[in-house]
Chains A and B, each alone.
Chain A
């Protein structure tokens, strides 16, 4: 990453952290993406606007923002006001934003969006476009049938698809190490005959570079690739989950490898003063607070909003 890219990545990660903290404060049930920002931002920052994103649900609110969705609308997916982009229909972090080329996580079931990405890739190839579909999944998703079906189809059809595993090491409370057979998720993917590698998911540059290579390959017609980004979920499965199933030492070790700290250090190595990086954190926090305050003045969604014609299911 050059300095501009890294600064943009750092700013996006800082904004994602603020968004997730805001959501955690709003709801103890929030599935937070704290700690996984480098994987999410590193995956989606380098894509073209016309590429299709089918993210995993955790930490995904930042992805439409990377493509230009105003912060107000990002938060609007969460706070259930009348201007909500989803009209309050869909759990906040699952909202996506198809107008920004980001698939919502509609099902609350792990797996179907991997197939959706293969379908988008099929459409791109059908029309002779050089667009790419990028899908993320958690390590929990790797245990589903849809994971294996979709990787197999993408490889067998050589679709312009990139799969990224946002491995935060937990399926709710179950550790990846004890629940998935085989050497690694990346190894599974390699057996479907696609290039596959494991990277440090708390290093935004490593994720950015690996996904960038995979996207370039897909765009050139070389078919799908797989990237497993090893990261860590710093919160419980949801905010109020005390995560009694893991050790304080483990948590401490991973908090010291926090992706924002890592990015700040990398920026400093490129000559960006620490004060400037600090200022970014303050700026995005202020930006979020202002957007949230304005939004919270709006009226809440009301039962009449159920009848809004744009969302009726039968024309």
Chain B
């Protein structure tokens, strides 16, 4: 038990990701960080705190502001067998790195009959949060890119184990750390050898009446809604995707097959998003639902700057309660 014993002090999601990176950097000298403002500044939102102090210039490699070429640099280092973590400050900057991510890192293995591998993590921070800038949620662009694994953890324990798995993966992983959750709360996390597998969803709350599929920040909102629904006699099952590409289709189908009702919730835009894909998979498998599936996500507008406007775009617990209630009453019991 000693290796996997819970650490004494609970940590935030930010600290958990850092702990995962630190452990992997200690374990494997080929793990390096590449990006801007990683050393004395310690990364945006202190996302690389302590790493330069411990590992020095050779492992924490500062670049100018050039996300595109820095990502290509990560690919080159990865092709040569290193395990780089490329830091893209915020998700708003991901489109700048889209060419090397989508067309190079994600494609290489397929294009070379498996000779070329890109064991690279691209790490970024996204979603609305107390830091009121860079909120756009671009994850769906990258889930539509064959060969990329896209991870969005919802809690510190998963965040650490998923980051460790991402670093050890021989294929590229986009790892999005939600800004709202970054320092929101603390949780005890598992010790050194605890990995959370990529591509596997987690049932964070079992329930018999409806399946709610979600990820990232909205997991917390969904759990709050589930608590409220208990008073109405509705048991909501909450599935946290954790990895949004590839989707854990098996877990989704298993749960929806039992409950017969599906609600999908995310902070990102509805059109062409993860929720549409989840509903599509369920439909394609011919699962008969007892009521129409519901998709709660942002309308098709860029996330605005003013707080009252942006808050209006987010899924809320009352909104989820109402959606689930309507779903359950519509479908009968």
Measuring CB to CB, which residues of chain A are less than 8 angstroms from any residue of chain B?
A: 52, 54, 85-87, 89-90, 96, 98-99, 103-104, 106-109, 111-124, 126, 133, 145-146, 149-150, 152-153, 156-157, 308-315
User: Closest CB-CB distance, B105 to chain A, in whole Å?
Assistant: 9
Contacts of B84 in A (CB 8 A): 119
CB B251 to nearest CB in A, in angstroms, measures 16
For B74, the chain A residues whose CB sits under 8 A away are: 119
Interface residues, chain B, CB within 8 Å of chain A?
30, 32, 34, 58, 61, 63-64, 66, 68-82, 84, 99-100, 103-104, 106-116, 146-147, 149, 170-171, 199, 246
Q: Which residues of B contact A156 (CB under 8 A)?
A: 64
* Chain B contacts for A104, CB-based, 8 A: 108, 111-112, 116
CB-defined contacts of B82 to chain A, threshold 8 Å: 122-123, 126
Q: Is A115 touching B171 in the complex (CB atoms < 8 A)? A: no
Q: Pick from B100, B110, B112: contact of A115, CB below 8 A.
A: B100
A86-B113, A145-B68, A149-B69 known; A108+B103 contact, CB < 8 A? yes
Cβ contact within 8 Å between B146 and A313: yes
A99 to B117, CA, bound (A): 12
Q: How far is the CA of A90 from the CA of B104 in the complex (A)?
A: 12
Please give 12 more A-B residue pairs, beta carbons under 8 A apart, in addition to A106-B108, A111-B99, A149-B66: A98-B115, A112-B72, A114-B72, A115-B68, A115-B69, A120-B80, A122-B61, A123-B76, A152-B64, A311-B112, A313-B106, A314-B199
* Inter-subunit contact B109/A115 (CB<8 Å): no
Set B34, B77, B80, B171: member contacting A314, Cβ < 8 A? B171
CA–CA, A315 and B70, complex, Å: 26
Bound CA span A10–B100, Å: 36
Task: Supply 6 A–B pairs (Cβ within 8 Å), ascending by A.
Answer: A90-B111, A115-B100, A122-B73, A122-B76, A126-B77, A314-B147
> Which residues of the other chain, B, contact A157 by a CB distance below 8 angstroms?
61
* Chain A residues whose C-beta falls within 8 Å of the C-beta of B100 in the assembled complex: 107, 112, 115
Q: A116 and B103: CB pair below 8 A?
A: no
Chain A residues whose CB sits within 8 angstroms of the CB of B78 once the complex forms:
119
CB pair B72–A146 under 8 Å, yes or no, is: yes
Q: Is A86's CB under 8 angstroms from B111's CB? A: yes
Using Cβ atoms and an 8 Å threshold, which residues of chain B touch A107? 99-100, 103-104, 107
CB atoms of B103 and A109 under 8 A apart: yes
Given A106-B107, A106-B111, A126 and B32 contact (CB-CB distance below 8 Å): yes
Whether the Cβ atoms of A87 and B79 lie closer than 8 Å is no
| Complex-state Cα separation, A104 to B114, whole angstroms | 13
Tell me which of B32, B69, B75, B146 contacts A153 (CB under 8 A): B69
Closest CB-CB distance, A108 to chain B, in whole Å? 7
The answer on a CB contact under 8 Å between B111 and A149 is no
Q: With A112-B104, A122-B76, A126-B58 in contact, is A146–B69 under 8 Å at CB?
A: yes
Query: In the bound complex, do residue A122 and residue B77 qualify as a contact, i.e. CB atoms below 8 Å apart?
Result: yes
A73 to chain B, nearest CB (A): 11
Residues of A within 8 A of B108 (CB): 104, 106
Cβ distance A185 to chain B, nearest Cβ, rounded Å: 17
Structural contact, A314 and B64, CB atoms closer than 8 A = no
Q: Considering the chains assembled together, what is the distance between the CA atoms of A311 and B147 in angstroms?
A: 10
Q: Which of B32, B70, B113, B170 has the most CB of A within 10 A?
A: B113
A117→B71 CA distance, assembly (Å): 12
Complex A-B, nearest 5 residue pairs according to Cβ-Cβ distance, in ascending order: A119-B76, A115-B72, A310-B114, A149-B69, A123-B80
Question: Contacts A107-B104, A122-B76: A150 and B69 contacting too (C-beta < 8 A)?
Answer: yes
Cα–Cα, bound, A109→B75 (Å): 15
Contact B113 A119 (CB under 8 A): no
Q: B30 — which chain A residues lie within 8 A by C-beta? A: 126
A153 lies within 8 A of B76 (CB) = no
Complexed CA–CA distance, A313 and B105 (Å): 11
A117 CA to B81 CA, complexed, in Å? 14
Report A-chain residues with C-beta under 8 Å of the C-beta of B111.
86, 89-90, 104, 106, 311
> Would you call B70 and A153 a contact (CB within 8 A)?
yes
Q: Nearest Cβ distance between residue A313 and chain B, in whole angstroms?
A: 4
- Take A116-B104, A119-B84, A126-B32 as given contacts and tell me if A98 and B112 are in contact as well, using a CB distance cutoff of 8 Å: yes
- Give the shortest distance, in Å, between A146 (CB) and chain B (any CB): 5
Contacts of B71 in A (CB 8 A): 115
The answer to whether A106 touches B103 (Cβ under 8 A) is yes
Complex Cα distance, B70 from A152, in Å, reads: 11
- B79 lies within 8 A of A119 (CB): yes
- Chain A contacts for B199, CB-based, 8 A: 314
Q: With the chains together, A273 CA to B63 CA distance in Å?
A: 54
Contact status B72-A150, CB under 8 Å: yes
Complex: A89 Cα to B63 Cα, angstroms: 33
Nearest A-chain residue to B75, judged by Cβ: A116
